[in-house]
Chains A and B, each alone.
Chain A
Amino acid sequence: MELTDKLIILADAAKYDVSCASSGAPKRSSKGREGLGSTDGMGICHSFTPDGRCVSLLKILLTNFCLYDCQYCVNRRSSNVPRARFTPEEVVRLTLDFYRRNMISGLFLSSGIIRSSDHTMEQLIQVARLLREEHHFRGYIHLKTIPDADPQLIAQAGLYADRLSVNIELPTETELLRLAPEKNGQSIKKAMGTIRLGVEEAETERKSPRFAPAGQSTQMIVGADATNDRVILDTAQRLYGAYRLKRVYYSAFSPIPDSPRSVPLTPPPLLREHRLYQADFLMRGYGFNAAELPTESGNLPLDIDPKLAWALSNRDIFPLDLNRAEPSLIARVPGIGVLTAKRLATLRQQRRIRYADLIRLRCSLEKAKPFIIVQDYRPALALADSQHLRYQLSEQPAQLALW
């Protein structure tokens, strides 16, 4: 099989993993040295596909032959898809070539389970080892970690990779048992635990070898089962706490060819995935607790974003006087972000904040207006009831697609 043909199959097979981050790696440079590649902690999106998603890494599977039969996965053993397998050298060649052309910032390598978990993990490590040791590649490497692999192998993977990830797959262990009979919730959690211990050991002991310096992430599939957003966000918060994940990625279940009956035929609305990311961002960047975010019969509202939903159900806090309030509370106002909150705090040390300042700081004033008081502005709408306000501020439903 030609290299191009393999690439077409194995990139298609890998695209359901949505993570493509290349950020968080330590500073590395190849300036004036043998080898190739640099990282500086910031990720670079080298392209965007027409689905609006970033292409930062060469994201491929080593092989899409797989022993497992996870119902939601296009590569499950009972799936009728074309199959291919790269040699480690082919992956190395593709990575280096694309990297020199400035098309990617590194490699995200995953694989179907072949022979055994340990064997599969060894194959992934082999590619990373070739890149790092034979070719002195200093770009970003993200390795998917096979949950049942020997902890020794995970330790070895952490030596070469910037980021490791174990997919939690589904929000609850019962659903995992139902849809992915070969997977095991506890193996997944244990692997995450092993990675966290490895990362922390490398951070605290200065002489210890490096271990996945960009930390670990995971992915949860949304809409392949009936689990609601409340449970999904609780699971995410639990994972952040227990395993110090850098990110939880939510992947709206994509319809796959020859879909088995155990999974839905239609995808969940992409907006649901978007709302989950917004809620996740509020937990990571704004100090919100999962339980604080209001849901309606278990799901985040689709017509308004979670921050606005929170503000609408906490009207007693608002309107908030931006000239007096705590910056952390200002950041909770809909339409005002953390950065703007910080800038407002700096500005008010110089003088009182006025309405025009908010315009200049590019606050989303449509949203913020009913919730704030500044020197020369006080909302008349504050009296309006929340239902009415919600109707005004909700994103109007887009026209249905014609096809």
Chain B
Amino acid sequence: MHSVVFDGTFAGWRACARQLLEQAVPPEKINWHDSVGSSDLFAQAEPSLAEKSTYTIRVPRQLADLLASAVCFRSDDRWALLYRILWRVVQGDPSAMLAGDEDGSELHRRIKAVHREVHHLHAFLRFRPYERNALPAYVAWHEPAHDVLELAAPHFCDRMGNLSWLIATPDAAALWDGKSLRFERPCPDALKAIAQQQRDEGDSLWQAYYASTFNPARVNSRALANHMPRRFWKDLPEGPLIPTLLSDARIGAQQLAQAEAVGAQAGKTVLIAAERAQPKREPVTALDECRRCELWQQATQAVPGEGPVTARIMLIGEQPGDQEDLAGRPFIGPAGQVLDRALNEAGLDRHALYLTNAVKHFKWTPQGLRRKHVTPDKEIAACRPWLLQELADVRPEIIVALGATAFEALLGYRPEALANYKARPLPLEGGWLIVTYHPSYPLRIQEAAQREAAFQEIVSTLRQARELLEPDKYREKQT
């Protein structure tokens, strides 16, 4: 049996472990003693371990981190478990560090408990201002179940900024002077006394808040004890309130959610006529109130057309997309950007055109937590009156139908193949209708050359629209 005595630090243990591995001492042959004073009844005189060793062990980096966190767990066999896992990994059994393994699951359980205890310290520690003009400015007393002060304290340096503080625990203390953090282990009695000082008025303000934010109609003491273990209650200002609040709620003095301290006071209604209480809103447009189909329920808002009523060219798309639905304006999403580029190349000014969609609400379906575009069908006919109204108001000379939905909205049937109509202006109500791809089409094409060809197709249609405005020039070109 090897009896290993070391200073109780992780670094000290690591140095010993390295030498024991070098001498191939199996875990069951070692007794660990993490303080010099302790003695082992069964210890035999051991040749002391060599001071420095050049022996190197190769283990996954992850293992070192796991062992370093598990070491904070208070337990008699904390060093033995670490060595056993290290031994097994070195012997070529890496499953020893996995949560599914016998030793590994214990390791992970300990790590979890340590993290939880760090979190408890961050959550349930309470600072109180120390005596006026004295240092440190704030003091706290906390009793963690594991040796987590060194892990947990740096959090408060970030949190408190320039304010100095002291955290004392039964066996260690952390001190921050606004610039540097230092630890004392064991904790000096003087610091313990400072940290365990009397409650002050700040505590009673917090107690008032705590009692008031509690909803007695939902009392659930099991959840409380699960989340905030009883061992912390004695150092919390709200701790003494808990039993009273619980019993008051339970005996039925409280059937309501309201705090007793509030219910006991005289109430006051706010006197205002219902009409005057109505908030001022932009008047709702007829389009926004449209219920001719079901799309309004899923959509944020109806997206009307945009542009001067004097516009000579009207561009009609399919329906607003994700971005358009949120902002309430047509063609501002990815397809809108393609359109902007195409207009630019065709030499058309977006602001001189009237842009709209065949369907005014976004049709979509949830796909996981995203929304997926759905091609409108029966909504096209339902929404048609709005499009006809826009056509009547603007009376464009040229209509550019972007895609099959716009085509259907205008002509009442779906084109068999859009390509049959491309670059072939159709006379429509004294003007021209020309048809091209929707600007979202190039976005869906993977292959770069084809994508560019589709884009150029849109550009040339838009160019054609511009030329159609000058009929003489257009006729010239045709002949």
Contact = CB atoms under 8 A, between A and B. Distances in A.
B227 interface: yes
A240 to B, nearest CB: 4
A361 B99 CA distance: 7
Contacts of B228: 47-48
Contact of A66 (B156, B178, B206, B270): B270
A47 B236 contact: yes
Interface residues of B, number: 104
B348 interface: no
Contacts of A184: 281
Interface string B166-179: 00000000000011
- Count chain B CB atoms within 10 A of each CB in A81, A197, A243, A357 and give the residue with the most: A81
A45 interface: yes
Contacts of B448: none
B64 interface: no
Contact of A193 (B257, B261, B298, B326): B326
Contacts of A196: 326
Contact of B126 (A36, A77, A102): A102
B158 A55 contact: no
23 contacts: A9-B262, A16-B215, A31-B157, A37-B159, A48-B223, A49-B224, A50-B220, A50-B242, A50-B246, A51-B214, A52-B220, A55-B213, A77-B269, A77-B272, A77-B277, A83-B268, A100-B127, A173-B297, A181-B278, A242-B325, A244-B369, A257-B258, A290-B366
A331 interface: no
A283 interface: yes
Given A29-B158, A30-B161, A59 B213 contact: yes
B474 interface: no
A7 B224 contact: no
Contact of B279 (A3, A8, A148, A351): A148
Contact of A30 (B158, B223, B326): B158
B301 interface: yes
B212 interface: yes
Given A58-B209, A77-B277, A79-B269, 7 more contacts: A12-B213, A51-B224, A78-B270, A103-B206, A117-B279, A193-B325, A289-B368
Interface of A: 3-4, 7-9, 11-12, 14-16, 29-38, 40, 44-55, 58-59, 65-69, 74, 77-83, 94, 97-98, 100-103, 113, 116-117, 148, 173, 181-182, 184, 186-187, 189-190, 192-194, 196-197, 237-238, 240-244, 252, 254-257, 267, 270, 283-284, 287, 289-290, 343-344, 346-347, 350-351, 353, 357, 360-361, 403
A37 B277 CA distance: 39
Contacts of B119: 44
A135 B162 CA distance: 13
Contacts of B204: 4
A276 B180 CA distance: 47
Contacts of B57: none
Given A77-B269, A238-B366, A242-B371, A11 B219 contact: no
Nearest to B95: A350
A38 B209 contact: no
Nearest to A196: B326
A130 to B, nearest CB: 17
A50 B245 contact: yes
A12 B212 contact: yes
Contacts of B140: 102
Q: 8 tightest CB-CB pairs across the interface, nearest first?
A: A52-B223, A30-B161, A80-B267, A193-B326, A52-B220, A38-B158, A77-B270, A254-B257
Contacts of A54: 227
Contacts of B221: 50, 52
B289 to A, nearest CB: 10
A290 B272 CA distance: 42
Contact of B123 (A38, A44, A403): A44
Contact of A52 (B162, B179, B224): B224
A315 B298 CA distance: 33
B392 interface: no
Interface in B146-203: 155-163, 178-179, 202
A83 B271 CA distance: 13
Given A33-B161, A45-B123, A113-B279, A11 B206 contact: no
B337 interface: no
A280 to B, nearest CB: 11
A346 to B, nearest CB: 7
Interface stretch (B16-24, B100-108, B305-313, B380-388): B100-108
B215 A51 contact: yes
B288 A8 contact: no
B403 interface: no
A60 to B, nearest CB: 8
Contacts of B41: none
Contacts of B122: 44
Contact of B371 (A37, A241, A346, A351): A241
A82 B269 contact: no
A102 B250 contact: no
Contacts of B162: 30, 32-34
A98 B206 contact: yes
Contact of A37 (B161, B218, B276): B161
B268 A8 contact: no
